[in-house]
Chains A and B, each alone.
Chain A
Amino acid sequence: MDSPAGVVRATASPGGLAAGRIIGDGTVRASTRMGSVWRWRPTRAAGIAFLMGIVVTVALALSSLALYHRNESRLLGLRVRELGLVLTATVPSIQTPLASAAELADATNGSAQKFRVFMAPYVGPGRPFASVSLWPLGSRRHAPVAVVGAKPVLASLPAQAHKFFEHAAHIRTLNVTGILNPAHPSLGYEFSTPGVERGFAAYAENPLPKNRRSKLESNSAFSDLDYALYLGRSRRTADVLVTSLKRLPIKGRQASDVVPFGNSAFTVAVTPRGSLGGSFFQSLPWIIAGFGVLLALAAALLTDRLARRRQHAEQLAGVLDRVATANREMYTEQRSIAQTLQHALLPDALPNFEGLKVSALYVPATSGIDVGGDWYDVVEADGNKVLLLIGDVSGHGLRAATTMASLRHAALAYAAQESSPATVLARLSDFVNRGEHDYFATVLCALIDVNAHRLTVASAGHIAPLLLAGDDANFVEFDVNVPIGVARKSQYLEATVSVPSNATLVAFTDGLVERRGESLDVGLARLRDAAVGQHVALDDLLAKLAADLASEEHHDDTAMVGVQWQD
């Protein structure tokens, strides 16, 4: 069912299928990429570095911000006091003409003419007042007797005028009133001469802007401020005389000052239009924050990179450690296998003979996984004689061990037929040289006549054995010929030496005396020195020599075989 439908679709719109495949492919790739991004996690150290950077940044930015705000508030406080001083400075310019005019009126019994003449310079555009009028006090109905400039608004408000002048009659300072009606908002000043009954009051008036809004001129010293001027000591919106703000009360940073003004006071409140200390200090916290975040990011990235390198190095070290451990285990195992094999190829136990004690010792190398091809044998020969064989196949490892096994058995076979050491070696040499081979072996063959105290030795490239007798220790001297496996041009030669009573013969492979960087003679001398004067059992002697010479670093296996006359 599905299959024909699929075929139909495929034939009908191959383009659609192709597009679907592309989308499918794209989706897979996109999700893979997302996966890899998702896998990326900053290291803990990087996170800590970033957090620390952010904390320091935030602290710096906040303290910078706090400093900025403190500075701004302090500056604003200074500005509002300046503004207050400017306002205070205007008091005399208002009070002095009015006080003089009031006194003039008292002196002239309210001469309108004199009042007009005196006040005329103070009234008009660009002068202190818009309107000045002279009001007699003490009458029931208050009305001005002389007016200079515009008609006072107060004159059209009898109730308010009555109240104002009734009150003002008892106050001997500059008297201020705000006529805050919506039609003609004005500010009025009054001064009446002190101590005079039924005197006169000089009254001046200045209109306020209708909506009480007035901006400070842009060239003013205070153009960087928005302000609100209130009549009185409170900051009720109803008492506002003039402001540059659309809305009151002032929100945000603000400062206010109360300026005594006659019997009343002005309260001036200001708020900065921008930054008083300059835009740089305003943006400094943000600059610090921006740089701080960038620095924190950079520090985090750097830390991340360092941490990753360290992690990588640690991982690598871990891997190397595991590999080393595995290697060590493999090495131990391999070495153990090869040693097991070699021990299997060496004689289990050496026979003892009448009047002759026999012992052998095998010391594996301290390093290297390959075992050597060292071997030894001690077998009975004709006529109460003993044939001792010791050999060392060149090379190491399984190949050397198997070659050793083959040589050993061949040597045993020849030894069973022949008791002449030189002949045994010659036959062994012929046996090896007949076939293809890429090894050689040093072999020492010694025929021991136990009863006759005689020793016949032949060597195929093998180091001479050590003969110990009493306090003497000497290497047996003979002519050495080439190792087994090397084409020989001459016969193997035998040497026969007499052996004193209770003598000990120690044959060994070169691992015992060979040390890197020194002559073989040095190693041989060391062996002789270690052996001389040792009147101990044969087993103990071999153990002592192994401990003295093979205990230090040596790369080669060592075999030792000893015989001791029991006289």
Chain B
Amino acid sequence: MAGLEEDGGAEVVIDTLFDPSGAAVMSVSGDLDISNAASLQAAVAAVTAQSPERLIFDLSDLRFMDSAGIAVLIGAAGEVSAVQLRGPSPVVRRVIELTGLTGVLPIES
């Protein structure tokens, strides 16, 4: 949906598609941190405005995520009843574990 390069050099690419089951899948790739979390926030807002039943964050190509990225995911979890993460890397998974959010942001089985 949008390729954005923000101040600080971190680059995140966000692609959104709606699969036939009605779930929105947002693929977030690159590095997500405080310098570009706002662009994901905007993309998430555009998706949640359409009230999808499920929102899946495909993080399989996300190398890094900091607490600012977590904040966006938590915000999405508050808006959509079912939010799931797809294929988070160990780095991303660790952030979620350390923040006690494994229950709020479950990993798709």
Interface residues of A (CB under 8 A from B): 367-368, 392, 394-396, 438-440, 442, 459-464, 479-483, 485-487, 489-490, 510, 514, 516-521, 555-556
16 examples of A-B residue contacts, CB within 8 angstroms: A394-B70, A394-B74, A439-B71, A440-B74, A442-B67, A480-B100, A482-B100, A485-B74, A486-B104, A510-B66, A514-B66, A520-B94, A555-B8, A555-B34, A556-B66, A556-B67
Q: How far is the CA of A517 from the CA of B8 in the complex (A)?
A: 13
Total inter-chain residue pairs, C-beta < 8 Å: 82
Q: How far is the CA of A482 from the CA of B73 in the complex (A)?
A: 13
Q: How far is the CA of A560 from the CA of B67 in the complex (A)?
A: 17
Which residues of the other chain, B, contact A392 by a CB distance below 8 angstroms?
Answer: 67
Which residues of the other chain, A, contact B64 by a CB distance below 8 angstroms?
Answer: 516-518
B75 within 8 A of partner (CB): yes
* Smallest beta-carbon distance B63→chain A, Å: 6
State how many residues of chain B have any CB contact under 8 Å with chain A.
28
Q: How far is the CA of A383 from the CA of B75 in the complex (A)?
A: 40
Q: A394-B68, A396-B34, A520-B91 are in contact. Are A486 and B74 (CB under 8 A)?
A: yes
B58 within 8 A of partner (CB): no
Which residues of the other chain, A, contact B90 by a CB distance below 8 angstroms?
Answer: 519
Whether the Cβ atoms of A483 and B34 lie closer than 8 Å is no
* Smallest beta-carbon distance A363→chain B, Å: 15
Which residues of the other chain, A, contact B68 by a CB distance below 8 angstroms?
Answer: 394-395
Chain B residue at smallest Cβ distance from A368: B34
Whether the Cβ atoms of B98 and A516 lie closer than 8 Å is no
Which residues of the other chain, B, contact A480 by a CB distance below 8 angstroms?
Answer: 97-100
Which residues of the other chain, B, contact A481 by a CB distance below 8 angstroms?
Answer: 100
Which residues of the other chain, A, contact B70 by a CB distance below 8 angstroms?
Answer: 394
Whether the Cβ atoms of B99 and A483 lie closer than 8 Å is yes
Interface of A is mostly: loop
The B35-79 residues at the A interface (CB cut-off 8 A) are 35, 63-64, 66-68, 70-71, 74-75, 77-78
B82 within 8 A of partner (CB): no
Which residues of the other chain, B, contact A521 by a CB distance below 8 angstroms?
Answer: 94
The 7 A-B pairs at the shortest CB distance, nearest first, are namely: A480-B100, A394-B71, A461-B99, A519-B91, A461-B100, A481-B100, A555-B34
B80 within 8 A of partner (CB): no
Q: How far is the CA of A518 from the CA of B10 in the complex (A)?
A: 13
Chain B residue at smallest Cβ distance from A554: B34
Whether the Cβ atoms of B75 and A438 lie closer than 8 Å is yes
Partner of B100, one of A439, A459, A487: A459
Whether the Cβ atoms of B77 and A486 lie closer than 8 Å is yes
Whether the Cβ atoms of B104 and A482 lie closer than 8 Å is yes
Q: A510-B66, A518-B64, A555-B33 are in contact. Are A487 and B71 (CB under 8 A)?
A: no
Whether the Cβ atoms of A442 and B99 lie closer than 8 Å is yes
B23 within 8 A of partner (CB): no
Q: How far is the CA of A520 from the CA of B90 in the complex (A)?
A: 10
* Smallest beta-carbon distance B27→chain A, Å: 19
Q: How far is the CA of A489 from the CA of B77 in the complex (A)?
A: 14
- Counting chain B CB atoms within 10 Å of each CB, which of A440, A490, A521 scores highest? A440
B95 within 8 A of partner (CB): yes
- Counting chain B CB atoms within 10 Å of each CB, which of A485, A516, A517, A518 scores highest? A516
Partner of A510, one of B10, B67, B77, B100: B67
Q: A438-B75, A487-B78 are in contact. Are A516 and B66 (CB under 8 A)?
A: yes
Which residues of the other chain, B, contact A485 by a CB distance below 8 angstroms?
Answer: 74
* Smallest beta-carbon distance A334→chain B, Å: 15
* Smallest beta-carbon distance A199→chain B, Å: 124
Which residues of the other chain, B, contact A510 by a CB distance below 8 angstroms?
Answer: 66-67
Which residues of the other chain, B, contact A519 by a CB distance below 8 angstroms?
Answer: 90-91, 94
Whether the Cβ atoms of A520 and B74 lie closer than 8 Å is no
